[in-house]
Amino acid sequence: MQTYTAPLRDMRFVLHELHPAKPLPGTEDFTPDLLDSVLEEAGKFCAEILLPLNAPGDEEGCHYENGVVRTPKGFKEAYKAFSEAGWGALNADPQYGGQGLPETVAKLVEEMICACNISFGLYPGLSHGAYVALKSHGSEELKDFYLPKLVSGEWSGTMCLTEAHCGTDLGLLRTKAAPQENGSYTLNGSKIFISAGEHDMAENIIHLVLARLPDAPPGIKGISLFLVPKFLPDANGKPGQRNGVSCAAIEHKMGIKASATCQINFDDAKGFLVGAAHKGMQAMFVMMNSERLSVGTQGLGIGEAAYQGAVAYAKDRLQGRSLAGAKYPEKPADPIIVHPDIRRNLMTMRAYNEGCRALGIWVAGVMDIAERSEDPKEKAEAEEFIAIITPVVKALFTDLGFESANLAVQTYGGHGYIRDHGMEQLVRDSRIAMIYEGTNGIQALDLVGRKLPANMGRGLRRFFHPLAAFIEAEQTHPKIGKMVQGFARAFGALQLATGFIAERGLKDAEEAGAAATDYLRLFGLVALGFMWMRTAKIAAEASGDEEFYTAKLATARFFVERILPQAGALLFTIKSGKGAMMALEDSAF
């Protein structure tokens, strides 16, 4: 049986102590007490409404018949309660019916949703992705009509990118859009792997579709974005005539079985251009940074659920005696939490989760600055930082979430491998996050191929400079100085790896590609290390709540001593170059 309690104390620490928000337009009324109450109520909703549907939803899955998709029992009612309570509108613009809360709070709520029921979370999550793209590039007419309905949850949204013959390489897509005399467009084509593409929870579904116009130039520069409703709105703004949009099938998947992953056909479907012709990828890139953090948050949510389940089991399961002698002599055996290897599993998950939560909210806070700041220089610097860190967040968080789910199964032993405790579902559900929204290998290539050299490396400086300043200021700190020195060695490894890739990559793109995945992991571990160093400083200087801050210091030490040394091995791997990787001819495989 799956259990979950929102880690509210740690969320408050990250939100108010580690990353206290600077005043921004539109946030003046959001006091810490108000934000805390939002998180508390979200935790209750997720644990009481969404979590009980997670295992049954996985067991039942979605049902497809004659183009109609039905979600598992209870999902429709939960979605109605979710929408009526305004959870899907937290960080949406009040102009369109949103609550205007900071991105930081919305991401913490997303974490809770993903920890309790990632399949459910994909439905409002896709709607928010569509909201971001439409808000950024849609005409005022389209925004005024469609955004309030997306924000309220009355209508849901999708992003229709992938086709059977092209995923990452969208320049190959074949879906066509033909202009009509009334200003609309007729779309024809087929898309696959469309999350939430058809379901029974909202009265209409708004598809944002990438397609080509007749005069489109070849490749990715010839892609346009279109809004295509499932039902064409009538004169009263209600779903009217069925559009030429149909669901041909749903996928039978390894995990996230309660999320409908659909093949969607467009047959003379009526659509409306979003943004400028042939500029559809601009809207996608605006949406992508937010979605990368959201997918990373899925990994974090799974990791937290896995950790909580593993801790509960490790405290309860009696097996053997402590190597140091019986710790619970009144019991027939000690609980397995006394064993070092079980502690290794639990501490690794804990260090990953709390580090990722800290890093994720740092990034979300910078996203708030990019969205709300009235200072052009500050906005530009925020956007540079976001561009370089979001591929790291997406790939690192999802890798670590999958690793945590597997560590939880290992902690449970045989009981983790069977379905009763829900750990094996976490493994299956977490695996997709490493693939969609751009595989983690693609995130690594994006980091080294696009983000590092962009703007003469300014984005990298936005990340490197605060780390260097912290090390300079705190390496002799009486309580955490030794940890900071360990962190400094890992940061030095990242700097050396960056220089190596910059030098080799300019001469040979395959050298950069061969180093990319290891470089992203090194970058991510150093980013987590920075979060743990800042956390340790606060904990070392705090007064009160001794148990919480003592645990923070202990976990920071574990991260520095047991996880961060991987940085040195990653540097050696990167510097080995492409030779061994590229040596075989294709025919030899």
Active site residues: 437
**Do residues 575 and 493 touch, judged by C-beta distance below 8 A?**
no
The distance from CA 176 to its chain's CA centroid, rounded to whole angstroms, is 31
Q: Compute the half-sphere exposure of residue 272: CA atoms within 13 Å on the CB side of its CA.
A: 18
Residue type present at position 2 = Q
DSSP state of 22: P
Give dist(CA 288, CA 291) in Å, integer: 5
Give dist(CA 414, CA 421) in Å, integer: 11
Residues 6 or more apart whose CB falls under 8 angstroms from that of 583 comprise none
- What the block records as the tokens of 138 is 């849609």
Q: Is the dihedral of CA 222, 228, 128, 438 positive or negative?
A: negative
Place of tokens 């100085």: 481
Give dist(CA 274, CA 88) in Å, integer: 23
Give dist(CA 291, CA 182) in Å, integer: 33
- What the block records as the tokens of 21 is 């928000």
- What the block records as the tokens of 396 is 């690192």
Q: For the chain, what is the radius of gyration of the CA atoms? A: 24
Residue 159: name the closest of 187, 137, 131, 136 by CA: 131
DSSP state of 49: I
- What the block records as the tokens of 200 is 């029974």
The distance from CA 201 to its chain's CA centroid, rounded to whole angstroms, is 23
236 in helix, strand or coil? coil
- What the block records as the tokens of 461 is 């400086």
Burial of 568 (0-12, 13-18, 19+ CB in 10 A): middle
Residue 178: name the closest of 229, 224, 209, 214 by CA: 214
Burial of 146 (0-12, 13-18, 19+ CB in 10 A): buried
DSSP run (H or E) holding 187: strand 185-195
Q: Count the Cβ atoms, other than its own, within 10 Å of residue 9.
A: 11
**Do residues 349 and 411 touch, judged by C-beta distance below 8 A?**
no
Q: At what angle do helices 340-372 and 376-412 cross, to 10 degrees?
A: 160
Maximal C-alpha separation, the chain: 84
**Do residues 305 and 115 touch, judged by C-beta distance below 8 A?**
yes
